[in-house]
Structure 1
Amino acid sequence: MSIRGRAAIVGAAEVDTWQSEGRSPVGLMAEATRRAVADAGLTLADVDGLFSASSHYTFPTMNLAEKLGMHPRFMDSSNIGGASFISHVGHAAAAIAAGLCDVAVIAYGSTQRSDKGKLVSRAEWSAYEEPYGLIHPISSVALMAQRHMHEFGTTSEQLAAVAVSAREWSLLHPNPPYPKPLTVDDVVGSRMISTPLHARDCCLVTDGGAAIVMTSAQRAATLRRPPVFLMGFSESSNHRTVSAMPNLTSTVANQTSRLALEMAGRSLADIDTAHVYDAFTISLLILLEDIGFCGKGEGGPFVADGNIAPGGTLALNTNGAGLSYTHPGMLGLFLLTEAVAQLRGDAGQRQVPGAATSLVHGMGLTIAAHSTAILSTHAD
């Protein structure tokens, strides 16, 4: 049984994507859930499936259910870092197709910015890295940048172009966190965090909550908003710790993207917008290569030539994503909400004309876990 076209996203919402208005992480999840359910034209009583992952809570779906007074008949709090929520889309579609739930909510909330660094991630202590001074995740990703530069001649200026493009997209959003353009010189002149990565090579630290609502394709046809169908999905993992990463410049994103596209019956040529996790400039560059938007080792020139900026050949991370819009610890759900906005035609100044098919790719930890979803306005 394939889940291709069997389920659709019918509601989506974000809340407090920069600084929380006094809400807790579960409070952000709850408010985003209420807004997403209302967006779908449903009520909380219609929801019988809950999906979430968290760095704040061990049992996020139970916390959310209690907060909202819900008693779902299906719950999934599997956690593979920031890729979790793209994975949850596939899991929810499978649960809906199997009759385990009818209406599923995927939700997330974090007060990472308000916590001012007080949050201690539940990530396990690594006996193979931490005793030697490796700072997770920045130093792990810096190793990848060093290797990519050594193998392919990638430069700091090319990496900076990734951040510059993200800022250009974010300036098209009605509420950008930084309302001024960014230059390559700004990026390479910013504070060095872990050689060769500068402060502006790193994602933002924000609060934020988001939620999406999914149901069967049949029920979606009866609801108030145009459905966004899940056409293809795949997930996998590459490693757990960077010391076990087989190749510092390649990941299984090539596998998940290929399998998701095959399930969807689509190719990269069919993709109108792409939403790819961008915790760091180098991690996004590696993922662009692995997914196939450019050849391996060609990411530097590809981004430096303006291909991922507004007006370029690839409409990528059209709200500015983690580098220039929001990054409350885990980004994956915000990639999905932006893809939904594009496919509904609700993206305002940043709208890609005629967008009908989107690729969403999440990563977790140090480019370790991967999940790809292909979304479309048509279930065929």
Structure 2
Amino acid sequence: MPGLPVWTRLCPVDVLRHPVVAGVAELLAAPDIQAALHEGQRAGTYPAEVVAALRRIGVARLYTDEAEVFHLCGLNAIAAAVDGSLAITLGVNALALLPVHLGAGPELRARVFKKINDGAFAAMLLTELDHGSNLLRNEAAATPHPDGGYRLSGEKHLINGATHHDVLVALMRTARGGAVAFGDFSVFCVDRDDSVEALPRWSTLPARAADIAGVRFHGTHVPEDSLIGKLGDGFSLVQRTLTLSRGGISGLASGSASGALALALAYAHTRDVYGAPIVGLDAIADHLVAHAELDLVTAAMAVKAAVAANALGIGAAIYTAAAKLACCALAEEAVEQGRRVVSSRALLADRPYENSSATSPSTACSTAPAT
């Protein structure tokens, strides 16, 4: 099964020196954990037990006061090398909490981070089914509440963590301006309660175990201090959030390419068709070499995006955007090389290659946070 991705070797910071990152890597290397994730992918069930184990070793520390670009990107790469559903389940926390890091006041930040450190996971509520990526057409609204604060109504869809995660960071319409109304939206931090309905999960391929579903607000009351930043700053805050988070997606793509290579190599070294492992066949070797080259290039670009985001912050927009686009495309090419090695067995649902994060990085990354 997959080990550490090449991303971790290229990164200028040894992310494995952080005890939590090292603990995650050790946990995900355990055969029983990998078996549980494999079964979850096959059955399409949320990896609740693995998530609980990760919480116990302190994964929340990476999202709150200790949040740091290299550790978060490394976490994405390490998880994606083993299981795509788990990678985006973890990654959505970094995405959802970025607005809190960027725009929340000290009291709100402390309150949210305490919930995360106490075991809650976060979800980012951006998209609506009828409007796709055009957030400026969204209709889910926050209106003034008679008792103070705001009342939330409407639906969000294709949300990662929509049924299992309890801290909901939601982009809501708070005004109606002109044709291009950048100031009509605000971001709220919402605690899930009985007025928040979890809608049925969407069936996704790959990342079948990911909790991709919808959320419906039934007049949900949020206090005034749940507003992140200022009223009307929501769209700008989301733009800054997505600018930074794209570097994490490139790390996820890099991990997918590395995980696919590990599976393809293991198969080539053990599959005996003609009296010896097929790794000795020229055609197989050609595919493995091409896969390794693509894995290395993907990791190099993903690490450069992380370095830029760490050094420049929002100023790294050109690097993170290019890396998200290119790394997903390169990882898709890498996975295809591995698929040719595994051949028809890559289509069998109970086999590791089809059932891992390696199935289709471009699809997995488009399901991931930051799209």
Please report the TM-score for the alignment, with normalisation by the length of structure 2: 0.29
Higher relative contact order, structure no. (Cα contacts within 8 Å, ≥ 6 residues apart)? 1
Q: Which has the higher helix share?
A: 2
Q: Which has more radius of gyration?
A: 2
Normalised to the residue count of structure 1, the TM-score between the two structures is: 0.29
